[in-house]
Copies of this chain bind each other. A is one copy, B any other.
Amino acid sequence: MQRPITVSERNFLNISVDCVVFGFDDNQLKVLLIEQDKLSETHIPMSALPGDHVYIGEDLDEAANRVLKELTGIQGLYLKQFHAFGNPDRTKGEKDSQWLRQVRKDPDAHIVTIGYYSLVRMEDFNPVASSFAKNTDWVDVNDIPDLAFDHNEILDYALEHLRADTENNHISFELLPKKFTLGQLQQLHELILDKKLDKRNFRKSIKKLDELIPLNEKQTGVYHKPAQLYSFERNEDK
């Protein structure tokens, strides 16, 4: 049974958003992490997902976009909400507390966070650290270090959602950018699902989607047969 918190403990309840931005190129699936600024001699900076408080009066989706932009400079991508994380101990690790004492007025607050994820071609975005992010890094999903707070758990959860969406071909028209070849799209699915797919079967299933639009354009500058380029129809781009 939860012990009620009393006023004398001077605690707060805050809301944040955390963004899991998956990035891919032709053979890698990575996640965009930020590295915390080193704040003092004793402080050991950690890596973390880009995330920060929601403003009062701000919509959650907008907050996710704003926070991502403030910390990494990245904007204009579709962020999909996937889960809320509210364990009161999620920010109570020793390193986490140390960090929060330096950057927050209420370091002991209970912070509920709303998780968002997205998927982009890495080459289309060039993250630049700012605010309390010292650096940004694309880190391979198979090589994720210990992250701040419960961000490892949030990341695992996001990956599950990404895989489920990919299996159902929901991913593509919501989360994919610009134009691509079917080969690239297949590589992407293989990266996400972590298994090989049959080329002909993949093409059959993907071509059934009427969101898939063949462009009047072919690949150039490749030393093999150039591929048809495709795009996904965006339902509601902002």
Residues of A within 8 A of B (CB): 2-15, 54-63, 66, 81, 83-88, 109-110, 112, 114
| A55 partner residues in chain B, CB cutoff 8 A | 2, 4-5, 13
Q: Is the CB of A6 within 8 A of B2?
A: yes
Alpha-carbon gap, A112 to B7, bound state (A): 12
| A61 partner residues in chain B, CB cutoff 8 A | 86
CB within 8 Å for A58 and B2 given contacts A84-B114, A86-B114: yes
Determine which of B2, B4, B81 lies in contact with A59 in the assembled complex, contact meaning CB atoms within 8 Å: B2
Count this chain's copies in the assembly. 2
| A84 partner residues in chain B, CB cutoff 8 A | 60, 81, 84, 114
Q: Is the CB of A86 within 8 A of B60?
A: yes
| A81 CB, min distance to chain B CBs, angstroms | 6
Alpha-carbon gap, A10 to B7, bound state (A): 9
CB-nearest residue of chain B to A83: B81
CB within 8 Å for A11 and B88 given contacts A2-B6, A4-B5, A62-B2: no
Alpha-carbon gap, A61 to B112, bound state (A): 12
Determine which of B7, B87, B112 lies in contact with A2 in the assembled complex, contact meaning CB atoms within 8 Å: B7
Alpha-carbon gap, A62 to B4, bound state (A): 12
Alpha-carbon gap, A57 to B86, bound state (A): 9
| A176 CB, min distance to chain B CBs, angstroms | 22
Alpha-carbon gap, A81 to B14, bound state (A): 19
Closest 6 CB pairs of A and B: A60-B86, A4-B4, A2-B6, A7-B13, A5-B56, A57-B88
| A229 CB, min distance to chain B CBs, angstroms | 33
Alpha-carbon gap, A63 to B165, bound state (A): 29
Q: Is the CB of B57 within 8 A of A11?
A: yes
| A62 partner residues in chain B, CB cutoff 8 A | 2
In this complex, which of A4, A7, A12, A114 has the most chain B Cβ atoms within 10 angstroms of its Cβ?
A: A7
CB within 8 Å for A54 and B13 given contacts A59-B88, A84-B60, A84-B81: yes
Determine which of B5, B63, B87 lies in contact with A5 in the assembled complex, contact meaning CB atoms within 8 Å: B5
Alpha-carbon gap, A211 to B122, bound state (A): 42
| A112 partner residues in chain B, CB cutoff 8 A | 15, 54, 60, 112, 114
Alpha-carbon gap, A2 to B87, bound state (A): 23
